[in-house]
Structure 1
């Protein structure tokens, strides 16, 4: 199955079957793509990372990607400095690609009390595809090319 189609299907499942947020969805899908097991505590920690619990601050799509970079980096024995550098460049390129790191600016209708759930479904699929390709093409993770199906 094409990676983008896989990501779109998994985002749909995470949002509409499991009713989890964007950060948790990002962590789950990236971990599947890269074959990394996630501990329940990691997923529990992401429960409030959708714009800082709805505060509309940093987007959970960014946070989920950053968390996964740290998890994968540690698993692949990258130095803390290499992980930090990768996170910095991920955030910078995410902002350049999507225009912001803030949920309040990325969410299609902002935050209105009567918004329907999961407004960011299409954006989530795009952001996870972006993160998977970023990791695959990142110099810090260059040795991982064979481990991801992107």
Structure 2
């Protein structure tokens, strides 16, 4: 991972978390669209509100969900088939799991979502995942 991509991810994630108060899924989607200079309808970003581990349930990681939505949007705009988009999503999920060890929020964020827990506890993981996703897109030439 290049230092420039990691630095960009750290700075932008911090802003998205502490200034905008976004969750991980929205942050991933918005930053990937920003980096790709892809237009993002505002409603799509707002629709990500419950996609942080399935609304805090601990299911699929919102960082994965945000990237899968990005791949779907990017693929649709490029007029890719549903099969092509599905293949990109599958390949990203496999790469993410191999790199981070899981696709599940409850495993990546073992402290869960306690009422008195810290805000944005996944900031470091989010920055790493945003940078990883950006590098993966570049390596895959997507």
Tell me the TM-score normalised to structure 1 length.
0.88
| Aligned positions, number | 140
Q: Partner of 2:139 in structure 1?
A: 137
For the 8 Å contact 1:108–1:120, the answer to whether it is kept is no
Tell me the TM-score normalised to structure 2 length.
0.93
Q: Partner of 1:148 in structure 2?
A: none
Partner Cα distance (1:14, 1:86) in 2: 26
Larger RCO (CA within 8 A; separation ≥ 6): 2
Aligned ranges for residues 114-129 of structure 1 at < 5 Å? 114-129=116-131
Q: Give the unaligned 5+ runs of structure 1.
A: 145-150
RMSD between aligned residues: 1.4
Q: Deviations over 1:34-71 (max 9, x none)?
A: 00111011112101000111111111000001000111
Q: Give the unaligned 5+ runs of structure 2.
A: none
Aligned ranges for residues 1-150 of structure 1 at < 5 Å? 2-107=4-109, 109-138=111-140, 142=141, 144=142
SS in 2 for 1:57: coil
State the Cα distance separating 1:110 from its structure 2 match.
Answer: 2.6
Instruction: Could you list the structure 1 runs, at least 4 aligned residues long, displaced by more than 6 angstroms after superposition.
Output: none
Partner Cα distance (2:110, 2:13) in 1: 17
